[in-house]
């Protein structure tokens, strides 16, 4: 399904929204994150895929590859860690601790009993556990029945206590909040609810790093230059990533911002349903998708405040379309580098292909031969066994092909 958003406008960035998320605060988060040794040094690649662009009938296709951000490869390492640091700085304000010292573990002795808890589909929990281990505090992660043992083990490897419940992602969010209230723990969630917005805001603000890097890598340094992209296709989920990206672009370019399209699994269409209802709403499906990171049933109300006026279209893709996109991006081409794109990471590509294959959708999305499209590969093979099963080759094989391709340029 593809719908246009009746609430979308082209205007300068709303002053009230800027008080919540801004380029200035995103840049501060970016500077703080640079002190975390878990992250790869420098920006993640912005790959140009001219062969795939030609196949889609557009001028340019750029893929921001967050699989390279940190092991095991997910954009979530930009959100949970910065939210955790900001939480600790607020809780221990009198200490005047810095992000550099916290990420270096210099205050671990004083934080040994400080406990954070969160629900996850996999990547957010992994990122929070990794940050907690670096900082020296305790971490509890609540997972649901659809999270693979492979993902659960990767979280536990960072010393987190993993609790599995019999329910879906939304049930795990409720359980994490219950445990926090019972034990005096601190919830570090990437979704918001009534009375809980400060930490989700910090999570979303961390994602601004992706937008900042992509803009710089595409050769645009400020709002005085034209936006290098006409379209940005973004993953759905609860809406946090999309909100972090659209807020950055909208503040920078206002009425000249790119067209934003959000892509979700058919079974987890909470953002599309929010556009139809014109308020934060629930998904209509089972919320059980191979795109595990996007298998969310409830829109984050805070994220929706940013998406409602800025996202031009919402669409859904099915699991088979996502799997096909994984294989396409892994194969590469004569001029296209092979990329390890995870099940949720390729949602934007799956959406681009769906738009190309449906003339009516393509027209409503204003995609044409002059379009310059940005996609974000939000994850690599975060579940290597599943990746191999779906793609028919291992992530290591694809990475080897990537190395060969880039060395032959």
Please check whether residue 80 is in contact with residue 190, taking contact to mean a CB–CB distance below 8 angstroms: yes
Please check whether residue 125 is in contact with residue 152, taking contact to mean a CB–CB distance below 8 angstroms: no
Q: Which helix (H) or strand (E) holds 375?
A: strand 372-377
Please check whether residue 250 is in contact with residue 310, taking contact to mean a CB–CB distance below 8 angstroms: yes
Please check whether residue 349 is in contact with residue 325, taking contact to mean a CB–CB distance below 8 angstroms: yes
Structure tokens at 11: 């205007």
Active-site position among 64, 65, 101, 121: 121
Torsion of CA 88, 294, 48, 331, to 10 degrees: 130
Q: Distances from the Cα of 363 to the Cαs of 360, 368, 369, in angstroms?
A: 5, 8, 12
Please check whether residue 66 is in contact with residue 347, taking contact to mean a CB–CB distance below 8 angstroms: no
Q: What is the DSSP string of 183-248?
A: HT-EE--SS-BTTB-HHHHHHHHHTHHHHHHHHHHTT--STTSPPS-SEEEEE-TTSHHHHHHHHH
| Residue 119, SS3 per DSSP | strand
Active-site position among 65, 76, 269, 336: 76
76 counts as catalytic: yes
396 counts as catalytic: no
Please check whether residue 47 is in contact with residue 409, taking contact to mean a CB–CB distance below 8 angstroms: no
Q: Catalytic amino acids?
A: 76, 121
């Amino acid at each position: 399904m593809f719908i246009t958003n009746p609430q979308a406008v082209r205007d300068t960035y709303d002053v009230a929204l800027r008080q919540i998320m801004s380029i200035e605060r995103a840049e501060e988060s970016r500077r703080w994150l640079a002190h975390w040794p878990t992250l790869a040094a420098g920006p993640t690649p912005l790959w140009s895929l001219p062969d795939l662009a030609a196949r889609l009938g557009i001028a340019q296709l750029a893929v921001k590859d967050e699989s390279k951000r940190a092991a095991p490869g997910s954009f979530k390492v930009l959100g949970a860690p910065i939210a955790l640091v900001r939480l600790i700085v607020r809780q221990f304000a009198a200490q005047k601790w810095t992000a550099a010292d916290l990420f270096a573990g210099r205050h671990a002795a004083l934080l040994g009993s400080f406990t954070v808890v969160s629900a996850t589909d996999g990547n957010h929990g992994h990122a929070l556990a990794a940050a907690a281990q670096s900082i020296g505090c305790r971490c509890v992660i609540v997972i649901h029945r659809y999270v693979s043992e492979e993902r659960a083990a990767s979280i536990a490897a960072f010393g987190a206590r993993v609790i599995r419940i019999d329910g879906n992602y939304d049930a795990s969010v409720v359980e994490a909040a219950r445990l926090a209230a019972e034990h005096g723990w601190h919830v570090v969630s990437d979704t918001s609810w009534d009375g809980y917005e400060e930490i989700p805001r910090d999570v979303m603000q961390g994602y601004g790093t992706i937008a900042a890097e992509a803009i710089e890598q595409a050769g645009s340094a400020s709002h005085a230059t034209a936006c290098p992209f006409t379209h940005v296709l973004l993953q759905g989920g609860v809406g946090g990533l999309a909100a972090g990206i659209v807020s950055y672009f909208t503040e920078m370019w206002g009425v000249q911002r790119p067209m934003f399209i959000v892509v979700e699994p058919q079974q987890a269409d909470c953002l599309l349903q929010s556009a139809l209802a014109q308020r934060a709403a629930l998904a209509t499906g089972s919320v059980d998708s191979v795109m595990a990171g996007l298998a969310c049933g409830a829109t984050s109300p805070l994220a929706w405040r940013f998406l409602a006026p800025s996202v031009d279209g919402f669409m859904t893709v099915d699991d088979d379309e996502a799997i096909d996109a994984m294989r396409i991006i892994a194969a590469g081409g004569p001029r296209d580098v092979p990329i390890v794109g995870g099940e949720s990471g390729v949602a934007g590509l799956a959406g681009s292909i769906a738009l190309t294959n449906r003339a009516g959708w393509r027209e409503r999305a204003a995609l044409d031969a002059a379009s310059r499209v940005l996609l974000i590969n939000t994850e690599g093979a975060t579940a290597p066994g599943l990746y191999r099963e779906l793609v028919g080759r291992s992530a290591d094989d694809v990475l080897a092909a990537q190395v060969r391709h880039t060395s032959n340029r």
